[in-house]
Structure 1
Amino acid sequence: MFISPAYAQTATQGASAMGLIQFAPMVLLFVAFYFLLIRPQQKRVKALQNAVAAVKKGDSVVTAGGLMGKITKVDETTVEIELAPNVKVRAVKATLAEVQTAGGAKPAND
């Protein structure tokens, strides 16, 4: 044989350590993506789900289609939104993209 068994074993052990070192940046990249992208998005989704579940009459909402109005009636899965005086539409709660509670924001001090 051209290569002794001891030399061949040393070469394979070094290659496995090099593979682990090359894999480490991928793991660090995934951890960074998790904390910078995935986790904040999960928090936003959970906050929106809680806000939609707690929606009540008088809240201002924006639907996923871009309609803005006030809630006039709340059912189990649907809400009635007043877009303008005497203009009401029904929407599924799951399509609400933003909920602003009545009296939730303070006016700016001028």
Structure 2
Amino acid sequence: MFQTIFLQGDASSLMSMLPFLAMILVLYFFMIRPQMNRQKKEKSFQAEIKKGAKVVTTSGIHGKIVEINSADNTITIETGAGKIKFERSAISMELSKKYLAPAKS
């Protein structure tokens, strides 16, 4: 008799944990995983960036890359105000014709 009560208590505690496990799974698939994918794409973009590309920095400055210095991991960007030196990680996205083209529906 003691064993049957113990087994029923174990099953009910598992059922009470089920909503918490479901919330953790939802959090992972809708928040954590997409953020990890975004970070991976951004790192690969920053590694593949080339001279002459039009870019936007994380602070919102638009410009054209004129120099890439691999030694100290910096990029020089030419803006309307002149040339500015940034860390490679400060480059947010590229503004080229293929990215600015309107989406075809």
TM-score by length of 2: 0.81
Query: Which stretches of structure 1, 4 residues or more, deviate above 3 A after TM superposition?
Result: 105-108
Per-residue CA deviation, residues 72-91 of structure 1 (Å, 9 max, x unaligned), is 11111110001116x00000
In the alignment, which residue of structure 1 is the partner of 2:84?
89
Unpaired runs of at least 5, structure 2: none
In the alignment, which residue of structure 1 is the partner of 2:48?
54
Structure (1 or 2) with the greater helix fraction: 2
TM-score by length of 1: 0.77
Aligned-pair CA distance for 1:28: 1.7
Per-residue CA deviation, residues 21-52 of structure 1 (Å, 9 max, x unaligned), is 11112222222222211111111111111111
In the alignment, which residue of structure 2 is the partner of 1:3?
none
d(CA) in 1 for partners of 2:92, 2:100: 22
Identity %: 28
CA RMSD of aligned residues (A): 1.9
d(CA) in 2 for partners of 1:65, 1:53: 19
In the alignment, which residue of structure 1 is the partner of 2:38?
44
Unpaired runs of at least 5, structure 1: 1-5
In the alignment, which residue of structure 2 is the partner of 1:28?
22
Aligned-pair CA distance for 1:107: 4.6
Q: Which of structures 1 and 2 has the bigger CA Rg? A: 1
Q: How many residues align?
A: 100
